[in-house]
Structure 1
Amino acid sequence: MFWTDSHELAAYARILNKDDYISFGRALVTQSFRKQKMGKKLVQTVLDEINQRYSQQIIRMLRNPIYKNSMVLLDFK
């Protein structure tokens, strides 16, 4: 999943369909698009896409400290 603006990469995230769960990661917002709350929008869009495509599966995230604040803001448990 990725977003562009005028042919420039703005944000990216990867969704992985594992055997018994769904995972996402490698989420990034390029430097010129930071400070616009795009990271939060990206994660919310990824979660919406996962819920639409894989509504019956568990979502797992790596326990990476980099994502901790974003997950708390999104009420991810």
Structure 2
Amino acid sequence: MDRFKLEIKSNADLSALEMIKIMQERVAVFVVEQDCPYQEIDDKDEDAWHVILKDQKNDQVAAYARVVRHDDGKSISFGRVLVVKSYRQQQLGRAIVTAAIDHIHKQFPKRTVKIAAQNYLRNFYASFGFKTQSDVYLEDGIPHIDMTLVE
């Protein structure tokens, strides 16, 4: 993990180039790789915190998550969790989720953490303490499930 540095930035703290690199990786994973045409960049990006693991060798985004207010207005959520294809199988998914949860606890203490997880990742998120809160449903044609962090 020494190869990677963690950065957590609001939109105001991101340079235009950093935002472009993040959006390129998000579109590459969630639109192209998952073959899911949808509005990947949305209104939630305007007030998001960006949790980024960068490769210190080349300053490239290796993993990413977005922290936002949940749709219920009370809870906090994270999503758009990704590991760039060339960095997979290095436990970076676990590292970026841990960093997102830690950030939420520091920035929004005592707030409930709710996520809409892709169903195939249900056990991955359960390993962090998330519990299933819904039946499986389709979001943009991909099976999802609502989960809440229980601590």
Shorter-chain TM-score above 0.5: yes
Alignment deviations for residues 8-56 of structure 1 (CA, whole Å, 9 cap, x no partner) = 1101101002421101101000011110111011101100000000012
Consecutive unaligned residues of structure 2, counting only runs of 5 or more, are 1-50, 132-151
| TM-score, length-scaled by structure 2 | 0.48
Q: CA RMSD in A?
A: 1.3
Residue in 2 that maps onto 1:24: 78
Consecutive unaligned residues of structure 1, counting only runs of 5 or more, are none
Q: CA deviation at 1:57?
A: 1.1
Q: Percent identity?
A: 30
1:56 aligns with 2:110: yes
Q: CA deviation at 1:70?
A: 1.5
Distance 2:120 2:80 in 1: 11
1:1-77 to 2 correspondences below 5 Å: 1-5=51-55, 6-18=58-70, 19-77=73-131
Q: 1:14 to 1:22 in 2, by over 3 A?
A: same
Residue in 1 that maps onto 2:13: none
Q: 1:63 to 1:37 in 2, by over 3 A?
A: closer
Greater Rg over alpha carbons, structure: 2
Q: 1:63 to 1:38 in 2, by over 3 A?
A: closer
Q: Identify the structure with bigger relative contact order (alpha carbons < 8 Å, sequence gap 6+).
A: 1
Distance 2:121 2:108 in 1: 22
| TM-score, length-scaled by structure 1 | 0.88
